[in-house]
Structure 1
Amino acid sequence: MTNMKLKFDLLLKSYHLSHRFVYKANPGNAGDGVIASATYDFFERNALTYIPYRDGECYSSETDILIFGGGGNLIEGLYSEGHDFIQNNIGKFHKVIIMPSTIRGYSDLFINNIDKFVVFCRENITFDYIKSLNYEPNKNVFITDDMAFYLDLNKYLSLKPVYKKQANCFRTDSESLTGDYKENNHDISLTWNGDYWIMNFWRVILPVA
């Protein structure tokens, strides 16, 4: 993945030279919070300045680029928030860069705005799907690592409490593998469900020991 990672870094830096980045985190569960936190780490590490997206603020279609947070929100039939947000705001920006994501469906959005999108995919199925919509590899569609891999892990592990306990932490939502109910279960993915990380408030991960 080294070459693709370099392309990822360099492409963002090339846009950053002449445009302002406006970042919109992908709202969701704690996993999306990890992705958002890793994205902030990535921006800091690469000296990529940005402003958070704010409702009601005026943006320039000449100079502003929307950076839409990576994850799995752009899946037709399962989630609509990401699609609706992009659809309602794409005209305000020069480009929309979708950070490493899993994408299913929403073909009209991607076909009708092919001149606006730069799409980073986090796996081959999404990469092949976006290519099938006439996107060109290494031009407006790329494959790279999930943003979670850019997390500054040592920074967060230093916050780990010096004790160990036992807990049941099985998924209970639509992404649960079995749907089995566990007594005294704590679904970590739902702990921070919401928009806490959109404004860079959520920067502390408390690892489960």
Structure 2
Amino acid sequence: MSEIQSVGNSEKGGKKRAKKQSTRVDMTPLVDLAFLLLTFFVLTSTFSQPKVLRMIFPEKLDPKNKDIKQPEVKDGLTILLSDNDKIFWYRGALNAKTVLEETDYTKKGLRKVLVENNLPLLTQLRAFEKELNKIDVKDTASRSAIDIKVKEAQRDSKLVVLLKNDDKATYRNVIDVMDEFMITQIAKYFAVDEGMSGLEKKLITQKIKI
């Protein structure tokens, strides 16, 4: 770490003078230590990236403005979350004739519903995956072409899923449903922050009483 250099009197005979000593600190180990610490913190910050859940909220529109076309859910699927882990869903636009179905958070429940409704897109994605597996890893042009096809298929998907919840639903329920969206590769889904409509709440009440 350090060196001590001695300077003495080489004269023969006589009284010897006291040795003068000087120290030189070797900074090399400190530089190595600083580099190791820097590497450690860089790697730590890289590995601990924050986990972000993608959530899409529809644009708020004024229902009284006749100049703006209000969104219509024709090929849509609406999921309703309530208390006691209750989950309901219905297809298409909401009206007095809407039939509300109840399901659960299991693979044979919500996941099956999502897969069945998203089957056209899933069929395309599976075909693209098989095609991609046949392409050499070094063939970046062909692999990029497949990626473009995947994005186009997701963009052209007709299925739109709306997620609504009342004030009794838990945050865990919302996260579980979002996870199912990712697993079943739903391309277009929206979390409606305005919650359920009066008719939807009424349908849930009627469904629970049955």
TM-score (norm 1): 0.26
TM-score normalised over the length of structure 2: 0.26
Structure with bigger helix share is: 2
- Structure of larger gyration radius: 2
* Structure with higher RCO (Cα < 8 A, 6+ apart): 1
